[in-house]
Structure 1
Amino acid sequence: MTNPLFYAKIILFGEYGMIEDSQGLVVPYSFYKGTLKFSETGSEFEKKSNIHLQKYAEYLENLVLMNDFILDIERFKADILNGLFFDSNIPQGYGVGSSGALVAAIFEKYSIKKHNPENISKDNLKNLKNVFGEMESYFHGKSSGMDPLICYMNLPILIENKENMDKVAIPKGEEGKGAIFLIDSGITGETGPMIQIFFEKMKTEGFRKTLKEEFIRYNNACIDTFLKKDMNPFFRNLKKLSHWAYEHFRPMIPESIFNIWKKGLDSNAYYLKLCGSGGGGYILGFTKDYEKAEKMLDGFHKEVIYRF
């Protein structure tokens, strides 16, 4: 039997805000994917991945997980000795869940009790997210568990707050003029340092206040209007959200993106926001007229992920 594929994920809304109890909307992205395989060629990539898995197995061995979510580490270690590696085209440091897909793949293959993503209850979803958070903390220092959860479920998830989340239906995409797209900043980002910057900012009362009173309000309004496909108020709130990030998330915006971020706000042709923690990797773009935005963003590599 071939191993299942685990897709990348994109946080459409809620980056950083979810740490402070904002809503979040996270969707799978099937352009990038990964799967566990046994090495046949012994290539450099396969060897490197295998060594990473060895180190990760040592970490997992010392992890105490809830009863329903215990992993068969001995089988995992035996497979690693037989050349197991993670065959993935998900770019690392791009905010699309490279470690999340790996965690989901390992959990699916080695959890002693099998879980069917389609039948997971709301309560178990929360438990699973917590387990994934512990498993993924190896890669980022601290993880919410959201990335692996999305990769594992392969369904859009609406995070209502820290305690509540549920599967959600995204409005069906159609071939309209509008689009949500990714822009490649040309550099990789590291999640850990960006999160450190955020927590430093959170120490100042002014930042905490504007995050709670403005960012979270615009973010939640974007999710609400997007899910209702109410595009005019959606873009109104999106502009406020993009402008807020330009003012307050400056260290997280890659230098190569500064000017085009401002250009979008000034022209109203498109609006940009962080995709994940920022610092590099992908930036998310939203536009009512992709053809126009594409011309204005000439020279940047772009990928359309949703049409409307």
Structure 2
Amino acid sequence: MKGPLFYAKILLFGEYGIIKDSKGLAIPFNAYRGALKSSSELSGKSKFSNENLLKFYKYLASLKTDLVVFDLEQLKEDIDRGMYFDSSIPQGYGVGSSGALVASIYDKYANDKITVLENLTRDKLLNLKQIFSIMESFFHGKSSGLDPLNSYLSLPILINSKDNVEPAGIPSQKQGKGAVFLLDSEQIGETEPMVNIFMNKMKNEGFRKMISNEFATTTDACIEDFLHGNVKSLFGNVKSLSKIVLKNFKPMIPDAFHKVWENGIKTNDYYLKLCGSGGGGYILGFTEDFEKAQNSLKNYKLELVYRF
């Protein structure tokens, strides 16, 4: 048994904002992927994954929802036979490792599933997002459902608001100097504690104002610029966003990277922002000159995502 491949995702813009209903833009990232496989000889990672799938099965079996029905009998049988999720997607890195797993389970075991091939109306997309939100909550405590949706459809997705998501056309990559890249913090980040910090901060009126007046409006401007290929304006807005995040989301930025973050803003060699919930994993970088950024960040591992 070998299931279809599901890819990692990168939330280019919208981390935390989408919890509070501002815009977001997510793209598939094909450098990392996962698939369901089966083996009678489980050890190490595959054994751990199989045990995790059993816990996930119990969670799905306990769900009280009319949104989706799973073939739980088949799922349990396959887990007992040694099914596991074989994945190259790093966990705790903000690139959707649990999202790809959720997408693969839905794809194989949901009855009357919404398929990628049918006409994806807004209602169907929202339905899928809700189903995935419920499923992925097993891993994070609270999930928007966006990561699995992105992985399942393997399309860029624009989140206009909680109830309005649509596939997005993004400009095709150019062979220019500019780039979006990943910077490896070489630390694992956990989503739940980071989201809890954010939710506690949201109790503060000043922070709430900053989110709606500064953070959300700058994020929305970045998305508009990116979708319309306004590169010059994009970098101005990404620089503003980088400053806002450094000032207001310090706990989500690993301590060792506060100076690196500041340095990018000061030199204009690159601008950093959170990739997912932060706290570790990848940090997302934008630069008008990738060579210059590589030079400035030569002590770190960088991975190219998109070229301008």
Is the shorter-chain TM-score for this pair beyond 0.5, marking a shared fold?
yes
Partner residue in 2 for 1:102:
101
CA distance in 2, matches of 1:41, 1:176: 48
Query: Is 1:61–2:34 an aligned residue pair?
Result: no
**Does structure 1 retain, via aligned residues, the 8 Å contact 2:182–2:302?**
yes
CA deviation profile, 1:34-87 (whole Å, cap 9, x unmatched): 1001015422221111111111101100113335x3111110000001111000
Secondary structure of the 2:161 match is: coil
Gaps of 5+ in 1: none
CA deviation profile, 1:166-212 (whole Å, cap 9, x unmatched): 00111100111010000000100000000011011101111100110
The one-letter code of the counterpart of 1:90 is: I
Query: Is 1:84–2:83 an aligned residue pair?
Result: yes
The one-letter code of the counterpart of 2:124 is: N
The one-letter code of the counterpart of 1:88 is: S
CA distance in 1, matches of 2:91, 2:44: 17
CA deviation profile, 1:239-276 (whole Å, cap 9, x unmatched): 11000000000000011211110000001111000000
Query: Is 1:113–2:116 an aligned residue pair?
Result: no
The one-letter code of the counterpart of 1:139 is: F
Partner residue in 2 for 1:272:
272
CA distance in 2, matches of 1:216, 1:59: 34
**Does structure 1 retain, via aligned residues, the 8 Å contact 2:114–2:128?**
no
Secondary structure of the 1:33 match is: strand
Superposed counterparts of 1:1-308, under 5 Å: 2-67=2-67, 69-119=68-118, 120-308=120-308
CA distance in 1, matches of 2:261, 2:189: 18
Gaps of 5+ in 2: none
CA distance in 2, matches of 1:41, 1:58: 23
Q: How far apart are residue 2 of structure 1 and its match?
A: 4.1
Q: How far apart are residue 118 of structure 1 and its match?
A: 3.6
The one-letter code of the counterpart of 2:137 is: S
Length-normalised TM-score, structure 1 = 0.98
**How many residues in Structure 1 have an aligned counterpart in Structure 2?**
307
Q: How far apart are residue 216 of structure 1 and its match?
A: 0.5
The one-letter code of the counterpart of 1:134 is: I
CA deviation profile, 1:114-139 (whole Å, cap 9, x unmatched): 33214222111001101111101111
The one-letter code of the counterpart of 2:84 is: F
Secondary structure of the 2:32 match is: strand
The one-letter code of the counterpart of 1:191 is: T
**Alpha-carbon RMSD:** 1.1
Secondary structure of the 2:15 match is: coil
CA distance in 1, matches of 2:66, 2:174: 42
CA distance in 2, matches of 1:229, 1:214: 22
CA distance in 1, matches of 2:70, 2:121: 20
CA distance in 1, matches of 2:262, 2:149: 34
The one-letter code of the counterpart of 2:128 is: L
Secondary structure of the 2:114 match is: coil
Secondary structure of the 2:170 match is: coil
Q: How far apart are residue 20 of structure 1 and its match?
A: 1.1
**Does structure 1 retain, via aligned residues, the 8 Å contact 2:177–2:307?**
yes
Secondary structure of the 1:117 match is: coil
**Does structure 2 retain, via aligned residues, the 8 Å contact 1:10–1:26?**
yes
The one-letter code of the counterpart of 2:31 is: F
**Does structure 2 retain, via aligned residues, the 8 Å contact 1:28–1:156?**
yes
Task: Give the percent of matched residue pairs that are identical in Structure 1 and Structure 2.
Answer: 52
CA distance in 1, matches of 2:170, 2:232: 17
CA deviation profile, 1:76-120 (whole Å, cap 9, x unmatched): 000001111000011110000011010000000001113321422
